[in-house]
Chain A
C-alpha cells in the first residue's frame, strides 16, 4: 500500500518506513523525510518544534517530543513489545500520519489573493 497524502507520497524513505520495521525513523535522523514528518505534526496537532530542528530537517529533542505527544494522544502502541507510546515513527505512526494528512488535504482548498501596487507616475516630470 503506497502512501497517499500529497505530503508523503513519492517519498521513498517514508514509503520504506511504512513497509519495513527496520526502516523506522528515529531521533538523530536528518533529511527531507524528517521535514515532512515535522510538517505533519505541526499541521495536524499544532505541535511546537524548535526552529533549528526545522531548518536543519533534524529529528532532535523537540521533534521526538512532538512524535511522542502525537502517538500518546492516539494510543499508538505496538503491544507485542511495549506498553506505552515511544518517540519513534514506525509503520503504525506513518500510516496514521498519512491518513490524517490525506483527510486534511481533502478538506482544504487553495485560493490565490492577487495584490497589485503601483507607484503613481511623476506629476511633475523632467522633460
Chain B
C-alpha cells in the first residue's frame, strides 16, 4: 500500500534528489541523470502530480532539512543517518537489485514519508561470459523502478505488466546496448512504460 509524503512536500509536488559521490563518480553518473529525466517524462504522461529535481545538498542527518531523497550505489554496507537514526543497507555490487528505504514519520495512526534513500549496485553485471556491466537500459530500469518506490509505492503495489513489475527478468544481449528487461507477455524494456494501474496508484498518492 502506497504511503504519502508529508504534507509540505506533497503540496510542493516536487521531490529533490541528491546524488552522492558513488553516483556522480561512477558507472551510474549518466544513467542517474537520464533516470530523473525519464521519471519526469513518465510523470507528465501519467499525470503523477510529482516531479523530481536534483539537489546539491544531502539530507540532513538530524532533521528534515536538505534533499528529500539520497541516491547512492555500493558494494557491501552502505549507511545513512536520518532523524538521528542509522540506516544500513547491504548490497552485492554485482547484483541487479535496487533498494529503497522509506523513512516515515508516524503520528497516531498516520504514516507519512519524510525522506527516502536509494541504493543500487555499484557495477551490476550481465549474465555473459566474460562478465561485464549490464547495459545502460537495464541500469535505467533499475533506477526508475526505485524512483517509483521513492514516490511512495511499496512492494504490494507491484504489478506484472510494466516498469513497476515485481518479477522482471534480465535478457542479456550480445552487447550492452542490447541488454533488456522482460516483464509480463514478453514485453522488453527499455523503452520504459507504465500501465494505467501504476499511474493511478501514484496519482492517488499525490492528490
Using a CB–CB cutoff of 8 Å, the interface residues on chain A facing chain B are: 6-7, 32, 38-39, 42-43, 46, 48-49, 51, 54-55, 104, 107-123, 125-127
Contacts and interface: CB of A to CB of B under 8 A. Distances in A.
B68 interface: no
Interface residues of B, number: 56
B170 A113 contact: no
The secondary structure that dominates the B interface is mixed
A126 B106 contact: no
Interface string B96-139: 11111111111110010010000000000011110000000010
A42 B4 CA distance: 15
Contact of B95 (A107, A112, A118): A118
A117 B107 contact: no
A42 B7 contact: yes
Contacts of A48: 11
A126 B174 contact: yes
Given A112-B87, A126-B127, A119 B97 contact: yes
A112 B181 contact: no
B105 to A, nearest CB: 5
24 contacts: A6-B62, A6-B63, A43-B8, A55-B12, A104-B107, A108-B105, A108-B106, A108-B107, A110-B85, A111-B111, A112-B101, A112-B103, A113-B102, A113-B154, A114-B99, A115-B149, A115-B155, A116-B97, A117-B145, A118-B98, A119-B142, A122-B127, A122-B172, A123-B169
Contacts of A119: 96-97, 138, 141-142, 168-170, 181
